[in-house]
Amino acid sequence: MYAATARVAAGPAPYATSGVLPAVCTGEAACAWSLPHRPESAGTARRIARTLLDAWGTDVDTADVVLLVVSELVTNAVEHALPPVVLHLEQRAESGALRIEVDDGGPTPEDRARAAGRDPEEHGRGGLIVALLATAHGERALPRGAAHWADLPIAP
């Protein structure tokens, strides 16, 4: 779990939602938040990301794409993985990309009831959406889980 200290350079605190630990920021261009392992966390993550993107001056079209990818990655972590869920957002000026990363506790041993109870037509598109929108995406192993990431182009 990330420390509950924050170093946010400017703008309002994008983590003022119950159950969300304060942001852990490394400089002005990278922050992380621990989120509750609940379906509502996708909405919380979108609100957090929107606040940070506004502070970074991200254009509306780019922000909409970022919010969709944030939502998909957090939803997948909640539905298909164990806690914790940690959202990372980082501007990568050298590559002209914004990195979205969601850490989780690794796959669940069985399908989640909320995912299993959905109409199959409404399930299973998150990975495809991320693949279509990202310039690069992937997964890497963590000591206790996995990190799922996507790079999105940011307007100059």
- Domains observed in the chain: 24-153 (3.30.565.10)
- Are the beta carbons of 137 and 150 closer than 8 angstroms? yes
pTM: 0.81
Of the candidate ranges 9-18, 56-65, 120-129, the one whose mean pLDDT is the lowest: 9-18
Whether the predicted pLDDT of 107 surpasses 70:
yes
Adjacent-strand bridge partners of 150: 100, 137
Report the pLDDT value the prediction gives residue 84, as an integer from 0 to 100. Answer: 95
Q: What angle do CA 150, 135, 24 make, to 5 degrees?
A: 30
HEC readout, 114-153: HHHCCCHHHCCCHHHHHHHHCCEEEEEEECCEEEEEEEEE
Predicted confidence band at 156 (pLDDT cuts at 50, 70, 90)? low
Whether the predicted pLDDT of 147 surpasses 50:
yes
Instruction: Kindly state the tokens that stand for 83.
Output: 């806690």
CA-nearest of 85, 117, 115 to 102 is 85
Instruction: Kindly state the tokens that stand for 134.
Output: 């990202």
Instruction: Kindly state the tokens that stand for 21.
Output: 């630990």
